[in-house]
Amino acid sequence: MELTDPHTLVLDEATSLLDPSTARHAERAMAAARADRTVISIAHRLHTAHDAGRVAVMEAGRIVELGSPADLIAADGPYAALGRSWHGA
């Protein structure tokens, strides 16, 4: 494995300074670079987590939920509450 072809990518707030529409375009453009890799994406925006295979929700430095976005919505816990507040509900 070369440094220029890593197995794992860590993206820490990679799109935090972009508006949501531009961030989605950037995420789509990065899709090819993420293919066949493990990606750990640290984000505060829910749209970043939407396409994740697994999401870890943290509160006060502790993981309070772990699962797919759909499973976390169905569980109606902190992730679902964030989604409702994000959408103004």
Beta-bridge partner residues of 42: 12
Q: Is the pLDDT of residue 64 over 80?
A: yes
Which pLDDT score is estimated for 87?
A: 72
Residue 68 contacts residue 44 (beta carbons within 8 Å):
no
Domain boundaries, the chain: 1-52, 55-89
Distance CA 79, CA 14 (A): 20
pLDDT tens digits along 16-30:
777 878 877 777 777
Which pLDDT score is estimated for 38?
A: 84
Greater confidence (40 vs 14) lies with: 40
Q: Is the pLDDT of residue 89 over 70?
A: no
Choose the most confident range, by mean pLDDT, from 6-20, 36-50, 60-74. 60-74
